Amino acid sequence: MIDSLLRPWGRADWLFQKNPLAGKEWLVIGSIATQQRCLSIFRHHGKTLSVKFAGCIEIVDNDAPPSFSIDAAARRQANKDQMEQDLALVQRKFVRFGLLDPIATLKPILKDWISSANTKNVILDVSALPERFLFPTLRWLRETTEIENLIVTYMLPASYTRDELAYNPGDWGQLPTFIGDGDKDAKQVEKIIVGVGFIPFGLPELLKNTYQNPNKADISLIFPFPSSPQNVRRGWEFVRQIEVSLPLSDEARICRVAANDLSGCFDRLQLITRKGVLPAIFAPYGPKPHSVAMCLQAINMGAEVYYTQPAYYHPEYSIGIAQDGGTPLGYAYAIRLNDVDLYK
């Protein structure tokens, strides 16, 4: 709260019962995924929040091999059926996209949902939303001035698969709507900010190939810590792979931020970019709350966001739903409260 701005966040069941959010009716934008946790936020309906309208984006991995796609389709269908059951009395709409499909058509769909929902309160559940959809969706919602309260939720699974999470990453490219203004070329970028995740794919070499410039650009890694020992170990392996190609100038280049601390991550990004003044690019490979922080800062800066989008994901990317006494566990982050943008 250096800038005296309180950015409320915490357990979803806690946040939604606090003022000014308590008692409001919500448009909830989520996803129909293979992961069961895509249901979590909707299961808060009637308990900690009231869903007035549900807009769900079903994302299909068109390029997955049959062994994955058949299983994935069955899981998505099961989740969809469950959602229909959970939200039987709620107005809801579904839309289907291929994972790598063009997404310009999503924008009018979001507009339509906002208008149909007839509420100024919107929740975006990013739990199972791939970065390729998350980033433009959040941008468009942030740009919608009619929304008074905008909350991002990230719900937790019971566990993750031990297999590879994602497959066939594409080439290093900008995420939709984050191609920058084109005024800067690689040499003008001064900060490369990478969210540390599990697998960097081609990131180290791509970074080096494009931005290696020892006189100017330096790299900062947003390391999710504290986190589980297994995740910390995988995070360090990620760092090692980056370091092989791009030596870090000093230990301070690794910024430790708790995996769920979106606000803390945003503060670090503000520090690194000197409140958005230093030209930067972002590579969101880390946990979703960190990716959301990067998204918000990139919107503020008109910065480019790069990613090596996988062509498909493991159908069991995550398993089950983390619960506390029957309530799905997860975090909620206030992005806009009473018309005030908290991440500007």
Partner 1 sequence: MIANPFHDLYLSEAIPEEALVELFSPIIVNYASAVFEPGNVIIRGLQGTGKTMLLNLLRPESRLAYRRSRRNTFPVPKESWRFIGAGINLRKCGALEFAQHLSSESDSRQIQELELLFADFVNYLVVQDLISTVDQFVQFDDKELLTEIGINGQRDRLDTFSQVLASDPCWFDALEGVINFDQLKDRLANRLKTYRRFLNLNVDELPKDITETKTVIGNPILKAAEALRVSGVLAADTKVFIRIDQYEQLPTLNVMGTNYGSNCQELIHKALSARDARVSYRIGTRTHGWPERPQIYRTTDVLELKRDFTVIDIDEIFRRRENVRTWAFPGFARDIFSRRLKVGALNTRMPFGDFSIAGALGRSLGPKECAHQYVSTESGRNGIIEKALNSLPAHIPQEWKTYIKSIANTDLLSAWLSCAWVRQKSVVRKNSLPLGSPPQDSALPWESKPYWFKERVQIGLLQIASENRQKLMWSGEDDVLNLSGGQILVFLFLLQHIWDAWLRDKRGATESDFRFPIEHEVQSQGILEASIEWRSKQIEGNNAFKRKGFVDALGRHFYVKLTNDSAMSYPGANGFSVSNIELERDSDVAEFLKQAVGFGDLYESPHTSKTKGERRTKYYLAPILSPYFRIPSVHTKEPEYVTVKEVSSWRPGNISTEIKIGEQRTLWDDGTP
Q: Which parts of this chain interact with partner 1 (CB under 8 A)?
A: 65-68, 98, 100-105, 107-108, 136, 140, 163-164, 167-174, 176-182, 186-187, 199, 201-202, 205, 208-215, 244-245, 247, 308, 311
Tokens 């490979």, residue located: 285
In the bound state with partner 1, the residue whose beta carbon lies nearer, of 65 and 320, is 65
- Given the complex with partner 1, which of 107 and 256 has the nearer CB atom? 107
From the CB of 188, what's the least distance to partner 1, in Å? Answer: 10
| Residue 177 beta carbon to partner 1: minimum distance, rounded to whole angstroms | 5
Q: Are strands 91-98 and 280-284 parallel, antiparallel or unpaired?
A: unpaired
22 exposed, middle or buried (CB, 10 Å; 0-12, 13-18, 19+)? exposed
Judged by beta carbon, residue 67 or residue 145, the one nearer partner 1 is 67
Closer to partner 1 by CB, 50 or 174: give it: 174
Total length of the chain: 344
User: Using an 8 Å Cβ cutoff, are 339 and 51 in contact?
Assistant: no
Region of 282 please: left (phi>0), alpha (psi -120 to 50) or beta.
beta
Identify whether the C-beta of residue 170 lies closer than 8 Å to the C-beta of residue 309. yes
Q: Which helix (H) or strand (E) holds 13?
A: helix 12-15
How far, CA to CA in Å, does 265 sit from each of 49, 277, 293? Answer: 27, 17, 6
Nearest distance, CB of residue 3 and partner 1, angstroms: 27
Whose Cβ is closer to partner 1: residue 81's or residue 143's? Answer: 143
* Residue with smaller CB distance to partner 1, 75 or 268: 75
Q: How far is the CB of 137 from partner 1 (least distance, A)?
A: 11
Half-sphere exposure of 53 (CA within 13 A, CB side): 16
Nearer to partner 1, 25 or 243 (CB): 243
Q: Report the nearest approach of partner 1 to the CB of residue 169 (Å).
A: 5
Name the minimum Å distance from CB 315 to partner 1: 9
CA distances from 344 to 174, 278, 298 (A): 22, 16, 10
Question: Cβ of residue 295: shortest distance to partner 1, in angstroms?
Answer: 14
DSSP H helical segments within 118-228, as ranges? 131-143, 203-211
